[in-house]
Amino acid sequence: MTINFWCPHFCWRLLSTGALKSRVKDSSLSVNITTQGVRPTLYPEDYKQKRLTLFDKLLAWVKTHCEVRISRYKLTLIGHALRDERELGKHDNHFSRFFMDTLFLSATPNERVVLISDDLGIIPFFHGHTNLVNTEDYLKRFYSEQLHSRIYPKILRLGYKGYSLPTQFIRSEFFKQIQGEEALYDRCLKNLGTDPITILTLLLDVYANSKNLISQKRVMSQNLLSNFLNWGVPDRLTYDAFKAMLVMKFRFLPHYKEFVLEDWAIACGRSSGLITDTL
């Protein structure tokens, strides 16, 4: 079976004209300011060059493997919108153009089209409108037996980030590490996901193991919590709510409860510069 890749027209324009490359900034720091606090993000010194290199490789791949297309249904919509310039102006930005291009192209009638995307920001909008698959779902569906033994270790060694690892896999790498075996636990911390139950389980493992001194456990605990916060916690998870979950989880380890609560406070301070009732 032959698989043909389509590239939305506006995406091609952004790549081929250098518009995306021009938006990469030299700054090594960005700051997200909300009503809940200030959260800085630090970037490595070679961040800009790596991003530019990525765009060059992506452009080369699209030139080799893709057919650039624009949906005629999108053209029809724009034609109607042109009758009302105010309505057209609402959608005249990069995100809207990319979104519309992708949506209409992936929903082309009488074509066997599958949208491949790992963009969690747009995926919810496409369910029900088109066939959709992301990398994680694809691997889980077709290579489930190889995930733990081959795929997860490989993508961790290659430095990929942005996917959620299963709790059991992270735990197995943790126990390997404390046993002195070769492990990928430190790399797992960069892909924790946003499930607080996973974090609570791992914290219990950290404090319940008898291989480390209390000072070592506290360093591991704070590192774990800091990585959890850096990933991006769920919007409705507040400081006090997670604190209550910690109290409940450590009810059978009361001599460690105060340590882990203090670890949580320290991690929150490192992450946002202040501790508030909401993160």
Task: Indicate the residue among 139, 160, 178 that finishes a domain.
Answer: 139
Q: What is the pLDDT of residue 275?
A: 41
Domain assignment present for residue 226? The answer is: yes
Give the C-alpha separation, 36 to 34, whole Å. 5
- Does 119 share its domain with 209? no
Domain assignment present for residue 86? The answer is: yes
Residue 4 DSSP code: -
Give the C-alpha separation, 81 to 89, whole Å. 9
- Does 122 share its domain with 227? no
Q: What is the pLDDT of residue 276?
A: 46
- Does 23 share its domain with 92? yes
Domain assignment present for residue 203? The answer is: yes
Phi-psi group of 23: left, alpha or beta (phi > 0 → left; psi -120 to 50 → alpha; rest → beta): alpha
Domain assignment present for residue 154? The answer is: no
- Does 114 share its domain with 28? yes
- Does 40 share its domain with 116? yes
Q: What is the pLDDT of residue 120?
A: 65
Domain assignment present for residue 42? The answer is: yes
Please classify residue 148 by burial: count the beta carbons closer than 10 Å to its beta carbon, then call 0-12 exposed, 13-18 middle and 19+ buried.
Answer: middle
- Does 133 share its domain with 253? no
- Does 60 share its domain with 130? yes
- Does 33 share its domain with 114? yes
Domain assignment present for residue 233? The answer is: yes
59-98: b (≥16 Cβ within 10 Å) or e: beebeeeeebbebeebeeeeeebeeeeeeeeeeeeeeebb
Task: Indicate the residue among 104, 124, 139 that finishes a domain.
Answer: 139
Domain hosting 42: range is 5-139
Domain assignment present for residue 153? The answer is: no
User: How do the pLDDT tens digits run along the chain, 279 residues long?
Assistant: 455 788 888 888 888 887 777 777 776 777 778 777 777 777 777 778 888 888 889 889 989 988 888 777 766 665 555 455 555 445 557 777 777 788 778 777 767 777 877 776 666 777 666 777 777 777 887 788 888 889 999 989 988 877 778 899 999 999 999 998 999 999 999 888 778 999 999 999 999 988 889 999 999 999 999 988 887 666 667 888 899 999 999 999 999 999 999 999 998 887 653 344 444
Cβ(259)–Cβ(252) below 8 Å: no
CB hemisphere CA count around 73 (13 angstroms): 10
Structure tokens at 124: 């919810």
Q: What is the pLDDT of residue 9?
A: 83
The string of DSSP letters for 61-120 reads HHHHHEEEE--HHHHHHHHHHTT-HHHHHTT-SHHHHHHHHHHHHHT-TTS--EEE---T
- Does 39 share its domain with 118? yes
Query: Rounded to an integer, what is the distance from CA 13 to the centroid of its chain?
Result: 25
Domain assignment present for residue 178? The answer is: no
Task: Indicate the residue among 73, 106, 139 that finishes a domain.
Answer: 139
* Overall pTM surpassing 0.75 (yes/no): no
Structure tokens at 253: 């380890």
| Structural domain total, the chain | 2
Q: What is the pLDDT of residue 91?
A: 52
List CB contacts of 267: < 8 A, sequence separation 6 or more. Answer: 222, 225, 226, 228, 229
Q: What is the pLDDT of residue 273?
A: 38
